[in-house]
Amino acid sequence: MKIICVGRNYAEHIEELNNTTPKEPVLFLKPDTAILLKKQAFFIPEFSNNVHHEVEILVKINRVGKHIDKKFAHKYYDEIGLGIDFTARDLQSELKEKGLPWEKSKGFDGSAVIGEFLPKSTFHDVNNINFRLEKNDKLQQEGNTSLMLWKIDALIEYISKYFTLKIGDVIFTGTPSGVGKIIPNDALTGFIENTKLFSIKVK
């Protein structure tokens, strides 16, 4: 399986990092080795002094497709989840400045938290899902999928022009504002509406 991530998909997050609004979705990949194993703590890697949490809605692909038209995209997933795209922000800034690929700052071991998934049928409208991240039991990030610049079906159309989607692939759909640094002993808990989908300890 592969992990396809979308950058700069929420206006307020673009502002907080002083990025410009892209004309097309920004995509990058994480290898499958980036997945943080279930019930494992996240260890801050030694190459970064500024790892950020980015809570994101996840979409799990359930059939193979390429060049998927937006109007058929809904047939390609039936589960929605929540995860964290851990980002070594210091390293990413360095790479961005040099115009280099972001992979080392985004795809390192443990950088992809994939929480539990909920059936799509749980939701009246996938474009109106509330989600949030709590750090040490305090609200840290919150978002609603209605605020995405590119909604789920548009992302599937766009991604599948470049990458064939396969069963089990996971799309990270971008983070809302409120990203921030984590330190050892932080506890990160993610919710969609009022359902807890992951709980991570930082070491």
Candidate list 14, 83, 85, 88; residue touching Zn ion; CB under 5 A:
85
Whether 198 and 39 have beta carbons less than 8 Å apart is answered as no
Whether 86 and 196 have beta carbons less than 8 Å apart is answered as no
Candidate ranges 9-17, 18-26, 52-60, 129-137; the one touching Zn ion (CB under 5 A): 52-60
Whichever of 105 and 175 has its CB closer to Zn ion, that residue is 175
- 139's enclosing H/E stretch is strand 138-144
By CB under 5 A, residue 112 contacts Zn ion: no
Candidate list 13, 54, 114, 115; residue touching Zn ion; CB under 5 A:
54
Candidate ranges 8-16, 30-38, 79-87, 137-145; the one touching Zn ion (CB under 5 A): 79-87
Calpha distance 80→118 (Å, rounded) = 5
Calpha distance 93→193 (Å, rounded) = 32
Whichever of 65 and 83 has its CB closer to Zn ion, that residue is 83
Question: Restricting to residues 136-195, which ones interact with Zn ion according to CB under 5 A?
Answer: 175
Rounded to a whole number, what is the distance in angstroms from the first to the last CA of the chain?
27
* Sites of contact with Zn ion (CB under 5 A): 54, 85, 175
